Amino acid sequence: MSGLTVELQAPNGRKWAQPTGLFINNEFVPSSTGKTIESIDPATEQTIASVHAASASDIDAAVKAARAALKHPSWKQLPGTDRGILMAKFADLIEQNKETLATIDAWDNGKPYSVALTEDLPETINTIRYYSGWCDKIHGQTIPTSPQKFAYTLRQPIGVVGQIIPWNYPLAMAAWKLGPVLACGNTVVLKSAEQTPLSILKLGELVKEAGFPPGVINFVNGEGREAGAALVQHADVDKVAFTGSTGTAREIMKMAATTLKNITLETGGKSPLLVFDDCDLEQAVRWSHMGIMSNQGQICTATSRILVQKTIYERFIEAFKQQVKDVSKVGDQWDEATYQGPQVTKAQYDRILSYIETGRSEGATVLCGGQKHGDKGFFIQPTVFTDVKDSMRIYQEEIFGPVVTISTFETEDEAVERANNTTYGLGASVFTKDLERAHRVASEIESGMVWVNSSQDCDYRIPFGGVKQSGIGRELGEAGLEAYSQTKAVHVNMGTKL
């Protein structure tokens, strides 16, 4: 094996050759500084592999590759239909390698293997496949203006796009960004999260095998402050798309201002889930548990603030506690029975435990959990807080772990007002059998997505994104194309008069 590939075997027995370089121009290359970052298995705290980390000069090389590819006839003049065929092939290759890719994300991120295989991988494949179908359906309009004149519009790619993704759904987040950016004919430098670079590098092999021209898709691993910041600040990057924390998004917006870059941001949340007393209680408990406890609570749209109508509060919390007991089995990624794996890193683990301490010291009651789980690995007990006040930090701030607050309300007006009393606006759930109320509340809630009698539904065909400080722009669906194409108006004068 070359110095840029290691042979790996995961605890589930699966073996593969893992690239560890930077994927630029369809080749794996070492970082110019030789700097590497260790990828850790959060269940055992053992190193999986050391992966090259990009410096500013590596980012420059990747951007140059993307710029050259953008102008190259093999990409620029490729008909949309053929671009769609390339993308469909890419989706097929991901599907053919789905067990290996799911193993990598499970190992590197800590999510249960069965979840990676049956949720993350289909989402990844479906998203790329869906956008492959858009490639030859992106076109402008013809607009008549006067008898002599008309205009037509061209929908053109934005250019070289820098994309920065987080670690909670490595492959799916890559697909959400790669699907529309490629469908619109851009070229891309995508920076994986330094906590979970392995599956993205493995995708690099498939990019090449699918037949994308060199430089169209480049993958770089690296630290946010170094590689991420270099990508955002690069003068030859036309657009930046980011998913991650609101704090980092704020920094990105500032950096992007220097060259007035087009930006799309998908950031944090503290999504409310409202349970009215006319709901199907069993359903409400099932979805509200899943809405915060799945993916180890590491979901931007997690419904982390549950508000229950006072009349059914006692019944709800008893049933919720039972649901945690019955369903939230904590364990490693490979055990079929595991519902909740370890948190992704020591940093996230520490941060969540410190929020749990904050909740205690603020005077909230720990209904269940509230501790680390076991002595090795970044495991945390699913934790439920009751007696929570709206002013508490655990009610206001994104914890990004298996920690939920449950509080009460009396009227619909109060519920909506308190649901909206946040700087965030990503998702929101409402549980009721009253159709009129369901749609009234859905309309009144300040969020990008609303789930009626559900939580966390997400689909490649449906727009996804936030209002307020949860983001700018939309991903997925037809709306996702807006972020990656720009409209040019061409005015045509057919007459001879002025």
Kindly list the catalytic residues.
266
How far apart are the C-alpha atoms of 305 and 406, rounded to whole Å? 6
**Residue 243 engages ligand NAI in binding (rule: CB under 6 A):** yes
The smaller minimum CB distance to ligand NAI, of residues 65 and 426, is found at 426
Q: Which of 268, 359, 465, 480 binds ligand NAI (CB under 6 A)?
A: 268
Helix (H, G, I), strand (E, B) or coil at 380: strand
Shortest Å distance, C-beta 431 to ligand NAI: 24
Nearest-5° Cα angle at 465, 240 to 137: 75
Would you say 214 or 427 has its CB closer to ligand NAI? 427
Nearest distance from C-beta of residue 146 to ligand NAI, angstroms: 48
Binders of ligand NAI among residues 297 to 356 (CB under 6 A) are 300, 348, 351
CA distance 104 to 170: 10
| Residue 221 binds which of ligand NAI, Mg ion, none (CB < 5-8 A, kind-dependent) | none
Of residues 213 and 401, the one with the C-beta less far from ligand NAI: 401
Quote the CA–CA distance of 283 and 429 in Å, as a whole number. 12
Residue 293 belongs to what H/E stretch? helix 281-293
Is residue 448 close enough to count as binding ligand NAI by CB under 6 A?
no
* Nearest distance in Å: CB 128, Mg ion: 24
The counts of H helices and E strands in the chain are: 17, 22
Counting other chains too, the contacts that 437-443 makes at CB distance below 8 Å and 24 or more residues apart are 437/276, 437/412, 440/412, 441/274, 441/412, 441/415, 441/416
**Residue 214 or 359: which CB sits closer to ligand NAI?**
359
Which spans of this chain sit near Mg ion (rule: CB under 5 A)? 39-40, 108
Burial group, residue 153, by CB count within 10 angstroms (0-12, 13-18, 19+): middle
Task: Please pick, from the candidates 40, 59, 138, 164, the single residue that binds ligand NAI as defined by CB under 6 A.
Answer: 164
> Out of Mg ion, ligand NAI, none, which partner does residue 119 contact, by CB within 5 to 8 A per kind?
none
Token pair for 221? 């691993």
CB of 167 vs ligand NAI, minimal distance in Å: 6
Q: Residue 106 in contact with residue 112, Cβ under 8 Å?
A: yes
Residue 204 interacts with ligand NAI (CB under 6 A)?
A: no
63 binds ligand NAI (CB under 6 A): no
Verify binding: residue 166, ligand NAI, rule CB under 6 A. Answer: yes
The entry of ligand NAI, Mg ion, none near residue 243 (CB within 5 to 8 angstroms by kind) is ligand NAI
Q: Using the rule CB under 6 A, is 224 a contact of ligand NAI?
A: yes
Choose between 229 and 307: whose C-beta lies nearer to ligand NAI: 229
**Residue in this structure with the two tokens 């941060």, named with its chain if needed:** 351
CA atoms within 13 A on the CB side of 346: 8
Instruction: Name the residue type at position 146.
Output: S
Q: How far apart are CA 35 and CA 15, in angstroms?
A: 26
Place of tokens 């050759």: 17
β-bridge mates for residue 492, sequence order: 150
Out of 232, 292, 293, 392, point to the residue binding ligand NAI (CB under 6 A).
Answer: 232
Q: Which one among 71, 139, 225, 433 touches ligand NAI, defined by CB under 6 A?
A: 225
Residue 233 in the binding site for ligand NAI (CB under 6 A) = no
> Residue 392 has which token pair?
């508490």
C-beta closer to Mg ion: residue 202 or 234: 202
Asked if residue 39 binds ligand NAI (CB under 6 A), the reply is no
Our finding on whether 245 is near ligand NAI (CB under 6 A) is yes
- Return the ∠ at Cα 262 (arms to 260 and 268), rounded to 5°: 115
> Closest distance between ligand NAI and the C-beta of residue 27, in Å?
22
412 binds ligand NAI, rule: CB under 6 A? no
Which residues lie across from 366 on neighbouring strands? 385
Pairing of strands 5-9, 305-309: unpaired
- Contacting residues toward ligand NAI, per CB under 6 A: 164-166, 168, 191, 193-194, 223-225, 228-229, 232, 243-245, 248, 251-252, 266-268, 300, 348, 351, 398, 400
